[in-house]
Amino acid sequence: MRKKETITSLQAGKGNRKLVMITAYDALFASLFHESVDMILVGDSLNMSFLGEPDTLSATLDQMIYHTKAVCNGAPKSFVICDMPFGTVGTERDALANAVKVFRQTRADAIKVEGGKERAAIVKHLTQNAIAVMGHVGLMPQSVRSEGGYKIKGRDSKDFEAIMEDALSIEAAGAFAIVIEGVTPELAQAVTEALSIPVIGIGAGQETDGQVLVWSDMLGFFENFKPKFVKRYLQGATLVKEAVGEYAKEVRSGAFPTEEHTY
């Protein structure tokens, strides 16, 4: 039985073991993942893979709370992080009220907040009020509309310096770890070396302290598009379609149910 991670054990992992994070949105899958991973993120990516929306922006706090409750129920021994959706951490007051709501209504261990140095004061306010915060810098999906798309970061020196400053200011604000997404491996490595907290990469190369992937991408359930950084460990969509096709065929032919499945 896996022992539940804590902020102390996760931070002690830096430089000693690679940290593994995966997303989950429900109790069933969370219960399948928790033995293998260090952290489960209830990502606002659920708005895309669960709800079928084109981006994460319309996810609401109540939806995140509902799914975080489910994940905590399915994986009670996991370190669970609830992603704060777009528009819920815009001011210190709103951010704290919304984070307290997450902590009161779920058993999440931490929240994740997208944003760089412009959000450092808000992250500091949260961490000073007993809210454990994971930062998220680099490519930030909640900025997709303001930035006009998803763009890989750190390719020029201005971008490189800005994201380094973002990461350092979120660490200084008291975050216990950060996600770095969609950046060059050189930038991810430099940030990992500069910070004393764990840096978890997604689309950020090999040199970070750990990795995170969206479960439906890495298990091959999401077929429409495969970003370069995703490795499919299962052909989930193919397996499901084959199995459901087989079930439908057997119902239509009368091969299911048999006596074995009859009271």
Residues lying near ligand KIV in the complex (CB under 6 A) are found at 23, 41, 43-45, 83, 179, 181, 202, 212, 214
Smallest distance from ligand KIV to CB 257, Å: 39
Q: Whose Cβ is closer to ligand KIV: residue 20's or residue 245's?
A: 20
Smallest distance from ligand KIV to CB 101, Å: 19
Tokens representing 63 are 């939806």
Ranked by CB distance to ligand KIV, the top (closest) residue is: 43
Q: Whose Cβ is closer to ligand KIV: residue 26's or residue 256's?
A: 26
Q: Whose Cβ is closer to ligand KIV: residue 227's or residue 245's?
A: 227
| Residue of 181, 193, 259, 260 marked active site | 181
Distance CA 219, CA 95 (A): 33
Centre a 10 Å sphere on the Cβ of residue 228 and count the other Cβ atoms it contains: 7
Cα 224 to Cα 11, 48, 49, 54, 220, distances in angstroms: 36, 12, 10, 12, 10
Distance CA 86, CA 79 (A): 23
Cα 7 to Cα 110, 177, 180, distances in angstroms: 9, 9, 18
Q: Whose Cβ is closer to ligand KIV: residue 132's or residue 179's?
A: 179
Does the annotation count 181 as an active-site position?
yes
Centre a 10 Å sphere on the Cβ of residue 196 and count the other Cβ atoms it contains: 10
Enzyme catalytic residues:
181
